[in-house]
Amino acid sequence: MAIATINPATGDIVQEFEPLTDEAITLKLDAAQQAFEHYRLIPLQQRSQWMSAAAQILIDRKTEFGKLMTVEMGKPIAAAIAEVEKSAWVCRYYAENAAEFLADDAIETDASRSFIRYQPLGIVLAVMPWNFPFWQVFRFAAPGLMAGNVGVLKHASNVPQCALAIEEVFRQAGFPEGVFQTLLVGADKVAQIVADDRVKAATLTGSEPAGISLATHAGKHLKKTVLELGGSDPFIVMDSADLETAVTTAVTARMINNGQSCIAAKRFIVHEAIADQFTQKLVARYAALKVGDPLDPQTEIGPLATPGILKDLQHQVTMAVEQGAKVLIGGNTQAIAPTVEGKLQQGNFYPPTILAEISPDAPIAQEEFFGPVAMLFRVPDLDAAIALANNVPFGLGASAWTTVPEEGDRLMADLEAGSVFINGMVKSDPRLPFGGIKRSGYGRELGRPGIYEFVNIKTIWVK
Ligand code: NAP
């Protein structure tokens, strides 16, 4: 894949970049290693000041960075600016809490003194996706740099300007040269970077094939990895739920980032007693969504990030229909062509779509739809809802709506997911760990657990 900014709303090539040569990659890793030798000794208080400065730069430049994201990957502008603000929040969170998380932990044993000390590992490689081009990087970099590691970023090839802007934020904030560097390289260079002795660990957010590839190479060199992969999150609505709030949240939870979020609600599993009402309301809300130019603040749904994603989604909807799905709304790009004008028609637009009557056993029901397409299922009771929710290879998040406390307890206990949200949509939050089980990956980002993924948890025993 070429490294380039291609506006997904117009198809225009905005800027192309030459990938780094092997020599340039080596020089960047040399710089990272040199930076680590002194950065690991810098007091936490100083790191914290730099991280707070990074947060302030993000806030000061949020409109500029938001626009950059929108032009590179099509996120509606208001959401893009909000993402920059959230990235500032994670910087502040670790700036304020890292000292507590990384303090020596005393443990009583037969020693005169025994404790855990948390020490950095060295260079950590981050392979990141385009869908949250700032947030995904900052949620790796804020805990990583606070812990004393140095980072090298291989960002998705379609967001090179975001990748360079993030490097600039850390430099401007005062972090020493080499502590955070962007490597403009394609996916084909990841194996050789992971193999470099100086690179101690890697984290990847993205698709299953990418995760498998990284983990295979890292395994060969016995290096730690964290993988945040895909999901097909259930959104369960029981008959006791507050229907209005559930429907409103269902739309937001499915449509976030034009439907391209790993934790978007993708399968709506609704109790049959309220299924007709829920469906009617959902279709009406979908029909009212404004699809168009993502730079227009009124737009709710922008284009998909690349023509490839559009093609994959179209294929999946076709397969769903072949496998028995009924299209309640959308399902055809022609449906939205009149709502966009001029050059925008060249963009990767796909209409909000609802698929119903899919058999839970249909192969397509096992897949992740990475775009504004919802699958709707009806169930007779809670047991059936939980069984259906768990009947996918993924286990990232789950949202469930009920006002019956016993039902809430069952859902918390039995849903196979890295996080369960009752009467709310699944969302990431710097204070709460984030990650999946099953084929959604392993390891955790954010919260206290997030900072321990890339440290040496060293046991000290003294007599
Ligand atoms: P992707 O194609 O896997 O790309 C993600 C990153 O991996 C990019 O930097 C990409 O580089 C790189 N990459 C691709 N193939 C690789 C390989 N064989 N070896 C090493 N690196 C490789 O994923 P995507 O299409 O951008 O994102 C969609 C997927 O990511 C969805 O499944 C979504 O659910 C998941 N996701 C998960 C989370 C989470 O937190 N769990 C968050 C966001 C997205 P190039 O761009 O150069 O190809």
In tens, the pLDDT along 186-227 reads 999 999 999 999 999 999 999 999 999 999 999 999 999 999
Ligand 1 centroid distance, CA of 187 (Å): 9
- Sequence-distant (≥ 6) Cβ neighbours of residue 4 within 8 angstroms: 13, 14, 15, 16, 17, 157, 158, 160
Rounded to an integer, what distance in angstroms lies between the CA atom of residue 323 and that of residue 319? 6
Of 83, 228, 416, 445, which residue is the catalytic one? 228
The whole-number pLDDT of residue 345 equals: 64
Q: Which CATH code for domain 233-429?
A: 3.40.309.10
Residue at token pair 């099509």: 74
Q: Which residues line ligand 1 (CB under 6 A)?
A: 1, 127-131, 154-157, 186-187, 190, 205-207, 209-210, 213-214, 228-231, 262, 368, 370, 396, 436, 441
Residues 7-55 have pLDDT tens digits of 999 999 999 999 999 999 999 999 999 999 999 999 999 999 999 999 9
Closest ligand 1 atom to the C-alpha of 130? 26
User: Residue 50 Cα, ligand 1 centroid: separation in angstroms?
Assistant: 29
Measuring from atom 27 of ligand 1, which residue has the nearest CA? 206
CA distance linking residue 60 with residue 64, whole number of Å: 9
pTM (two decimals): 0.96
CATH code given to domain 3-229+440-462: 3.40.605.10
Q: Which atom of ligand 1 is nearest to the CA of 154?
A: 9
Mutational pocket test of ligand 1: of 17, 157, 207, 313, the residue with most ligand atoms within 8 Å of the beta carbon: 207
Ligand 1: residue of 159, 205, 258 to mutate (most ligand atoms within 8 A of CB) is 205
Dist. CA 155 → ligand 1 center (Å): 9
Please give the pLDDT value at position 334. Answer: 65
Residues in the chain, overall count: 463
Integer Cα distance of 401 and 245 in angstroms: 10
Ligand 1, atom 26, lies closest to the CA of 129
Q: What is the pLDDT of residue 338?
A: 40
Q: For strand 397-401 and strand 419-422, is the pairing parallel, antiparallel, or unpaired?
A: parallel
Closest C-alpha residue for ligand 1 atom 40: 228
- Alpha helix positions (H), 6-76: 22-39, 44-60, 62-73
With beta carbons less than 8 A apart as the criterion, state whether 362 and 256 touch.
no
CB-based contacts of 83, cutoff 8 Å, min separation 6: 66, 69, 75, 132, 134, 135
* Residue 205 Cα to ligand 1 middle (Å): 6
Residue 10 has a CB neighbour count (10 Å cut-off) of 18
Catalytic annotation, pick one of 262, 416, 445, 453? 262
Distance CA 69, CA 5 (A): 10
- In this predicted model, what pLDDT tens digit does every residue of 383-415 receive, in sequence order? 999 999 999 999 999 999 999 999 999 999 999
The residue ranges of every structural domain in the chain are: 3-229+440-462, 233-429
- The residue behind tokens 């990074």 is 54
CA of 43 to the centre of ligand 1 (A): 34
Ligand 1 atom at shortest distance from the alpha carbon of 309:
25
Tokens, residue 420: 């369960």
User: Which atom of ligand 1 lies at the shortest distance from residue 436's CA?
Assistant: 41
Kindly give the parts of the chain with pLDDT less than 50.
Answer: 338-340
Average pLDDT taken over every residue of the chain: 96
Return the best residue to mutate from 262, 312, 394 for the ligand 1 pocket (most ligand atoms within 8 A of CB): 262
* CA 192 from centroid of its chain's CA atoms: 25
* Residue 378 host element (H or E): strand 373-379
- Spacing, Cα 227 to ligand 1 middle (Å): 10
Residue 23 a catalytic site member: no
- Quick check: is 262 catalytic? yes
Question: In angstroms, rounded to a whole number, what is the distance separating the alpha carbons of residues 315 and 171?
Answer: 43
d(CA 189, CA 152): 13
The DSSP call for residue 336 is: G
Compute, in angstroms, the gap from residue 112 CA to the centroid of ligand 1. Answer: 48
Q: Return the residue whose CA atom lies nearest to atom 21 of ligand 1.
A: 187
